[in-house]
Amino acid sequence: MKGPLFYSKILLFGEYGIIKDSKGLSIPYNFYNGALKVTQTPSEESIKSNQSLKRFADYLQNVNPELVTFDIEALKKDVEAGMYFDSSIPQGYGVGSSGALVAAIYDQYAKDKITVLENLTRDKLLLLKTIFSEMESFFHGKSSGLDPLNSYLSIPILINSKDNIEATGIPSQKADGKGAVFLIDSGVVGETAPMVGIFMENMKQEGFRKMLKDQFIKHTDACVEDFLNGDVKSLFKNTKQLSKVVLSHFKPMIPKQFHDLWKKGLETNDYYLKLCGSGGGGYILGFAEDFEKAKLALKDYRLEVVYNF
């Protein structure tokens, strides 16, 4: 048995902000993917994945049946037969490893599922997001449901606010463009739950809440608008501001060894860094008007281009 492929995703803008109703923009990233499989020669990885699926199947039995029901019998039978999630998506890297798994399970076992082929109204998108949020909470404690939504539909998603999301188109890439959005491998695995915990703790302070609204969300929303409108000049101006705010107010989410590198980008304008997902490790997102320059400045790191301007 081998199921269809589900891809990783990148939240270009909106990390943390979308918890508090900022805009966000999430795009599929086809470099990594995963699929449900059954194998006759299990590896250590597949056995671990299979055990996790066992627990996940038990969890799904108790999801609100008014929201979604699953063919639990078929799922448990397949898990007993050794089914696992075969994935190249790195875990704890902010590119949606659990999201792809959730999408695959929904696709294979949900009854009356909403399919990619039907007319995806806003209500259907929100319902899918709610279902995925319930499902993915098994992995993170609290999930927005956006990662699985992106994986399942494999199209860019614009988040206007918590209750207002839409499928969107993004400007097509310029193959010979000098500018780029890229990923830097921090070499450290990030844990989502503790990072979100720090954020929620900070939210208790009035000063932090004010900064989030007046600076972080303001620049995030502007970046989303600029990106969708293809206004590269304004995008880099706003990304720089966003990068500054993150360095000042989200330090615990930036791996220590990147603090100076982050600052250097802001001083030289060769590149600007921002969090990819909840931070704490995994990937860091980079934006550069001249990617060759950024490559030189970051020559000690492994960079992966996500999008060309």
CA distance 108 to 120: 19
CA 96 vs CA 9, 66, 93, 159, 284: distances in Å:
6, 26, 8, 17, 14
Within this chain, do residues 144 and 48 fall inside the same structural domain, yes or no?
A: yes
Domain of residue 191, CATH code: 3.30.70.890
Is residue 117 located within the same domain as residue 259? Answer: no
Condensed to tens digits (0 to 9), the pLDDT of residues 110-146 reads: 999 999 888 888 899 999 999 999 999 998 777 888 8
Q: For residue 286, is it within any domain?
A: yes
What share of the chain in percent tops pLDDT 70?
100
* Residues 113 and 27 grouped into a single domain: yes
Average confidence score pLDDT of the chain: 93
The H or E element containing residue 199 is helix 192-202
pLDDT tens-digit map of 242-273: 999 999 999 999 999 999 999 999 999 999 99
Pair 206, 127 in one domain: no
Looking at 167, 195, 222, the residue that finishes a domain is 167
Q: ∠279-282-103 over CA atoms, to 5°?
A: 90
- The answer to whether 285 and 185 are in contact (CB under 8 A) is no
Q: Is residue 32 part of a domain?
A: yes
- List pLDDT tens digits, range 152-183: 999 999 999 888 999 999 998 888 889 999 99
User: Same structural domain for residues 200 and 256?
Assistant: yes
Encode pLDDT of 197-250 as tens digits.
Answer: 899 999 999 999 999 999 999 999 999 999 999 999 999 999 999 999 999 999
Count of domains observed in the chain = 2
Specify the pairing of strand 164-167 against strand 180-185: unpaired
| Buried/exposed 213-252: b ≥16 CB within 10 Å, e otherwise | eebbbbbbbbbbbbbbeeebeebbebbbbbbbbbbebbee
| Per-residue pLDDT at 1 exceeds 70 | no
Classify 229 in phi/psi space as left (phi over 0), alpha (psi -120 to 50) or beta: alpha
pLDDT exceeds cutoff 90 at 88: yes
Co-location of 115 and 197 in the same domain:
no
pLDDT tens-digit series, residues 59-86? 999 999 999 999 999 999 999 999 999 9
The domain in which residue 279 lies consists of: 180-308
Answer yes or no: is 175 within a domain.
no
pLDDT single digits (tens) 29-52:
989 999 999 988 999 999 999 999
Q: Is residue 21 very low, low, confident or very high in pLDDT (cuts 50, 70, 90)?
A: confident
> Are 265 and 257 a contacting pair, CB within 8 Å?
no
**pLDDT confidence of residue 96:** 85
Q: How far apart (Å, rounded) are the C-alpha atoms in residues 290 and 287?
A: 9
Judge if 155 and 213 occupy the same domain. Answer: no
- Pick from 147, 184, 139, 192: which is nearest to 27 by CA? 147
Rounded to 5 degrees, what angle do the CA atoms 277, 290, 259 make? 45
For residue 257, tell me if it sits in a domain: yes
Rg of the chain over CA atoms, in angstroms? 19
